[in-house]
Structure 1
Amino acid sequence: MFDRLVSGTNTPGERVRAYARVENAACAARLSAMADLLEQAYAASGSAEREQWRCDNWSSVCAQIGAAQTLTSGMVNALLTNAVILRDRLPKVCAVFAEGLITYLLVRTICQRTALLQDPAALRAIDAELAAQLRNWGAKSLSQTDADIDALVLRHDPYAVRRAEEAVHTTGVTVHTDGATGVAHVDATVNATDGAAFDRRATMLARTVCDRDPRTLDQRRAAALGAMGFGWDRLPCMCEEPDCDAAARPAVGGVVIHVIARQDVLGDAGNRATEDPTPDPDPGAGPQTPPEPERAPEPEPEAETPTPAPRTGDLTAQRRALAGTSPRRLSKPLREYTLTQLITELNADPGEFSPASPGIVIGGPVLPAAVVAQLALSATVKTLVHPGQAPPEPRYRPSRALADFVRARDLTCRHPGCTRPIDDLDHTIPYPWGPTCASNLAGYCRQHHLVKTFWPGWSTVQYPDGAIVFTDPDGQTSTSYPGSRALFPELSEPTAPVPVCGTPPPKHSAGLTMPRRRITRAEARRQRIDAERQRNAPWVKQYLRDSIPPF
């Protein structure tokens, strides 16, 4: 299909240019196929009724695209949105993209900067002018690209210019999590009075510990943000002294964060691990400790020069090192070093590996072992039990122990590509045809649970190790594996096979009702565009007044 783009290429430089065009053209073809898939869904019988569903035609197509390419829901939504814009609003720009002359990054910017255009004549004019300019667009910075596209939009429809001033001044909170360090960065824009109240509250909570707490005031103020989230009225002290009155963990608030870790990370905290306080309705059907698996004999090692083992430090010391001021890296001022002396001193202490395994937040990031050990000081520790070959539970709703295991095994929604937190536990083979057991339960976000339950053409097969094979309405298959398989492979050890009781119907949704939207997705988009254009009105009036010559 793309042979004509690479024919006659000989030098490496020619091949780079040719295959860049191939990549761009292939991306255009992929977006076109996505738009075809959406058009096919709209053409199906009953699609108009499904537009009012909570999981509408758009959601169903996104689920199919996400499973096919293992993409997250947000990424698929963006791709499908741009595919529709290119086909319906910017056909001439789409043709240039199909020739491989522009990149998807530029196409995405064009789709975003022209989203507020409503007048068909203005849209056609901008599409034609952009298509002509894009053939000789050249290399431009991101800011210059935005400015050039906005200038073109401004000439045809001033109300359609995308402006950032209001977005900058809008209040909001964003949390950026660093999965490598176990640290999150919080950016917040709030009202002045709210900011003052937060500042004072953080300092008050930071002073609820005893004087022997090793953390600095800034570290305790940062910990106060977590205390607010958990609904605590004070900080647990980290002095670790037996006579400290502030060391006890505060009462549980309205938020619980689940962290999975091995026993070697918890230290003394693991000794106070508790069982699930909620009794099982049928304790005899609850999970049991799995038998110890047989281990294959290890091969004899080949004779080779032994390598020195990495240094492993004391986890308690590493945990305590997280609090307090950082030690000095250098023994004297930097100006007194030669380059050789500086390199020698910096490399004198190569650091040490953690002797314990990392942990992971369910639906969140991986945490280093020292961070988990620090959290365990003020956490409620419960033992997570693998069901092993335990028989199914004789009821629809799983016990607390079984539900905790499934959530810990899956970590996030099991739909291929989805990374959303788990909202629901679903029976792969519908109950009562399929039993309530680990090999027949999986976690899903609400959207993909609705897709699986209501949309025809989707089917799943689950295996005892937690792997699930999804088949979409076109018959294409994708495999989803438990999220814990990399860090905690023991959670993916096979559980008891599923005994099937009869033949379930193709879609067991009798008596269930798909939640409905108040307005359709298209109407909601129109309302957002109208609202943003209306917010541009004062700026446009001032712009038009300033454009009048002074004579």
Structure 2
Amino acid sequence: MFERFVSGATTPGERVRAYARVENAACAARLSAMADLLERAYAASGSAQREQWRCDNWSSVCAQIGAAQTLTNGMVNALLTNAVVLRDRLPEVAAVFAEGLITYLLVRTICQRTALVQDPAALRAIDAELAEQLRTWGAKSLSQTDADIDTLVLRHDPYAVRRAEEVVRTTGVTVHTDGATGVAHVDATVTATDGAAFDRRADLLARTVCDRDPRTLDQRRAAALGAMGFGWDRLPCMCEGPDCDAAARPPAGGVVIHVIAREDAVGDGMNCAAGAATPDPGQESRPLAPPDPEREPAADAVSPPPKPSTGHLSAQRRALTGEPPPLLSKPLRDHTVAELMAELSAGPGEFSAASPGIIVGGPVLPAAVVAQLAMHARSTRLILPGETSPEPRYRPSRALADFVRSRDLTCRHPGCTRPIDDLDHTIPYPWGPTCASNLAGYCRHHHLLKTFWPGWSTVQYPDGTIVVTDPDGQASTSYPGSRLLFPELSEPTAPVRECAAPPPKLSAGLTMPKRRITRMQARRQRVEAERQRNAPWAERYVQESVPAF
């Protein structure tokens, strides 16, 4: 299909350019196929009634694309939106993209910067001019690309320019989590009064500990952010002194964060903590159940090698607080090269075989961070169901539900990384039993899709593996999220014995939650609202652009 792009490429440089063009053209073909899939969904019988479903035609197509490519729902939404924009609004730009002359990054920018254009004539003119310019576009910075596209939009429709002031006026909070260190970065844009209140509250909470707390003021202010999230009225002290009045953990504030860890990490923190039996503060560590000590190994089994010692996990945990130690014993200028190399290599660090933990639906945490969390958390042993019999009811017990959530970690639809909202019977109850091999966690969106949309089917295996088949018959496999870090959670449980064939899906939508307005109507409202906010600036621009004579 793309042979014409590479047929004349002989040198390495020519091949790089040719295959870059192939990549762009293949991306254009992929977006075109996505638009075809959506068009077919809209043409299907009964699609008009499904447009106001909570899980509508667009959602079903996104789920199908996400399962096929193992992409998150947000990424698929963006791809499908741009695919529709290229087909319906910018066909000439789409033709340039299909030739492989521009990248998807540029296409995405064009779709975003022209989203507010409503007049068909203006949109056709912008599409034609852009397509002509794109053939000789050349290399440009991101800011210059935005400026050039905005200049073209401004000439045809001043109300449709995406202005920076809109971003500045938007407040919000974003949390970026570093999965390698267990640290999150919080970016917030708030009003001045809210900022002042937060600053004062963080300072007050940071000063509720005793004078022996090893953390710096900045570290305690950072911990105060978590205390606000958990609804605490004070910060638990980390001095580990037996007579500290501030060491007791505050009562829970209604927010619970589940952390899964093995006992080699959780036990260290709990043994060193003062008052380790106090109620749950909002963080819950779940140490895995150890193997059955009464089960004897097979006669020909090879004894596993002894595990290395966990080192001084307490010391590693304490090293997370306080001022960082000096890297060198004296100023750098006073060192010879030999002294510098010897001092830098003198402390290579200490290995710890303690297992890392993981936040359910979140990042992996190093063992030292888990041990620090365990100081002020309630620990609950996670019970592995093994070959136990199914439970004789629809709703699983707390122990079974905890196991399934810990095994799956996130939504089990292929590609989805959302937190688990619901536990679903793969074979509907009562035709399928309530057991680990027939339960899986889903976000609300994909739970509705699985329950109501015709054509979707799932098969679950005793080790938690799920095979999802979409309406086109394409199968995708979803594995439990914990199988790499905690493989024991994916060991086969009791196999499912189907009682009887379940009835066909109830797909009439009688119980499907409904939207107040359709997705397309909501999008039109957002575009119109942003154009209205642009109106004063656009009117001034038009007036000032009229010559004075």
Question: Normalized against structure 2, the TM-score is what?
Answer: 0.93
Taking the aligned partners of 1:476 and 1:152, their CA distance within structure 2 comes to 43
Taking the aligned partners of 1:235 and 1:195, their CA distance within structure 2 comes to 20
Find the counterpart in structure 2 of residue 66 from structure 1. Answer: 66
Bigger mean CA deviation after superposition, 403-412 or 7-16: 7-16
Find the counterpart in structure 2 of residue 402 from structure 1. Answer: 400
Could you list the per-position Cα deviations for residues 103-145 of structure 1 after superposition, in whole angstroms to 9, with x for gaps in the alignment?
Answer: 1111101101100000000000010111111111111111111
Number of aligned positions between the proteins: 534
Aligned-residue offset at 1:293: 9.0
Aligned-residue offset at 1:297: 3.6
Aligned-residue offset at 1:216: 0.9
Matched, 1:121 2:112: no
Aligned-residue offset at 1:397: 0.2
1:510/1:297 CA distance change after superposition, 3 Å: farther
Find the counterpart in structure 1 of residue 227 from structure 2. Answer: 227
Find the counterpart in structure 2 of residue 388 from structure 1. Answer: 386
Matched, 1:17 2:37: no
Find the counterpart in structure 2 of residue 376 from structure 1. Answer: 374
Among 468, 488, 501, the alignment partner of 2:466 is 468
Taking the aligned partners of 1:50 and 1:13, their CA distance within structure 2 comes to 51
Aligned-residue offset at 1:334: 2.9
Instruction: Tell me if the contact between 2:387 and 2:493 (Cα under 8 Å) persists in the aligned partners.
Output: yes
| Counterpart secondary structure, 1:417 | coil
Bigger mean CA deviation after superposition, 13-22 or 468-477: 13-22
Aligned-residue offset at 1:351: 1.7
Find the counterpart in structure 1 of residue 153 from structure 2. Answer: 153
Taking the aligned partners of 1:449 and 1:16, their CA distance within structure 2 comes to 44
| Counterpart secondary structure, 1:25 | helix
Instruction: Tell me if the contact between 1:420 and 1:445 (Cα under 8 Å) persists in the aligned partners.
Output: yes
Find the counterpart in structure 2 of residue 86 from structure 1. Answer: 86
Q: Which amino acid is 2:442 matched to? A: Y
1:512/1:500 CA distance change after superposition, 3 Å: farther
1:374/1:313 CA distance change after superposition, 3 Å: same
Instruction: Tell me if the contact between 1:231 and 1:254 (Cα under 8 Å) persists in the aligned partners.
Output: yes
Instruction: Tell me if the contact between 2:269 and 2:373 (Cα under 8 Å) persists in the aligned partners.
Output: no
Taking the aligned partners of 1:275 and 1:496, their CA distance within structure 2 comes to 34
Matched, 1:537 2:538: no
Taking the aligned partners of 1:338 and 1:66, their CA distance within structure 2 comes to 58
Aligned-residue offset at 1:32: 0.4
Instruction: Tell me if the contact between 1:275 and 1:382 (Cα under 8 Å) persists in the aligned partners.
Output: no
- Give 1:265-414 correspondences, 5 Å limit: 265-268=265-268, 297-298=301-302, 313-337=311-335, 341-414=339-412
Find the counterpart in structure 1 of residue 131 from structure 2. Answer: 131
Taking the aligned partners of 1:5 and 1:510, their CA distance within structure 2 comes to 48
Question: Normalized against structure 1, the TM-score is what?
Answer: 0.93
Aligned-residue offset at 1:200: 1.2
Find the counterpart in structure 2 of residue 96 from structure 1. Answer: 96
1:121/1:512 CA distance change after superposition, 3 Å: closer
Instruction: Tell me if the contact between 1:273 and 1:381 (Cα under 8 Å) persists in the aligned partners.
Output: no
Taking the aligned partners of 1:268 and 1:14, their CA distance within structure 2 comes to 59
Find the counterpart in structure 2 of residue 306 from structure 1. Answer: none
Instruction: Tell me if the contact between 2:114 and 2:160 (Cα under 8 Å) persists in the aligned partners.
Output: yes
Q: Which amino acid is 1:451 matched to? A: L
1:542/1:354 CA distance change after superposition, 3 Å: farther
Aligned-residue offset at 1:330: 1.6
Instruction: Tell me if the contact between 1:274 and 1:382 (Cα under 8 Å) persists in the aligned partners.
Output: no
| Counterpart secondary structure, 1:387 | coil
Aligned-residue offset at 1:97: 0.5
Instruction: Tell me if the contact between 1:288 and 1:386 (Cα under 8 Å) persists in the aligned partners.
Output: no
| Aligned alpha-carbon RMSD (Å) | 2.4
Aligned-residue offset at 1:347: 3.0
1:346/1:542 CA distance change after superposition, 3 Å: farther
Instruction: Tell me if the contact between 1:64 and 1:472 (Cα under 8 Å) persists in the aligned partners.
Output: yes
Q: Which amino acid is 1:41 matched to? A: A
Instruction: Tell me if the contact between 2:386 and 2:494 (Cα under 8 Å) persists in the aligned partners.
Output: yes
Aligned-residue offset at 1:331: 1.7
Aligned-residue offset at 1:549: 3.8
Aligned-residue offset at 1:153: 0.4
Percentage identity across paired residues of the two chains: 81
Q: Which amino acid is 1:409 matched to? A: R
Could you list the per-position Cα deviations for residues 173-210 of structure 1 after superposition, in whole angstroms to 9, with x for gaps in the alignment?
Answer: 11111111111111111122211111111111111111
1:212/1:478 CA distance change after superposition, 3 Å: same
Instruction: Tell me if the contact between 2:452 and 2:509 (Cα under 8 Å) persists in the aligned partners.
Output: no
Instruction: Tell me if the contact between 1:288 and 1:387 (Cα under 8 Å) persists in the aligned partners.
Output: no
1:492/1:38 CA distance change after superposition, 3 Å: same
Q: Which amino acid is 2:2 matched to? A: F
Find the counterpart in structure 1 of residue 214 from structure 2. Answer: 214
Instruction: Tell me if the contact between 1:263 and 1:270 (Cα under 8 Å) persists in the aligned partners.
Output: no
Find the counterpart in structure 2 of residue 506 from structure 1. Answer: 504
| Counterpart secondary structure, 2:440 | strand
Aligned-residue offset at 1:338: 5.3
| Counterpart secondary structure, 2:378 | coil
Taking the aligned partners of 2:310 and 2:390, their CA distance within structure 1 comes to 43
Could you list the per-position Cα deviations for residues 17-60 of structure 1 after superposition, in whole angstroms to 9, with x for gaps in the alignment?
Answer: 11111111100000000000000000000000000000000000
Taking the aligned partners of 2:467 and 2:161, their CA distance within structure 1 comes to 46
Instruction: Tell me if the contact between 1:360 and 1:366 (Cα under 8 Å) persists in the aligned partners.
Output: yes
Find the counterpart in structure 2 of residue 110 from structure 1. Answer: 110
Matched, 1:241 2:241: yes
Taking the aligned partners of 1:130 and 1:310, their CA distance within structure 2 comes to 63
Instruction: Tell me if the contact between 1:312 and 1:352 (Cα under 8 Å) persists in the aligned partners.
Output: no
Aligned-residue offset at 1:416: 0.2
Taking the aligned partners of 1:426 and 1:546, their CA distance within structure 2 comes to 61
Taking the aligned partners of 1:60 and 1:231, their CA distance within structure 2 comes to 38
Aligned-residue offset at 1:8: 2.2
Among 451, 454, 474, the alignment partner of 1:453 is 451
Taking the aligned partners of 1:268 and 1:487, their CA distance within structure 2 comes to 20
Bigger mean CA deviation after superposition, 507-516 or 421-430: 507-516
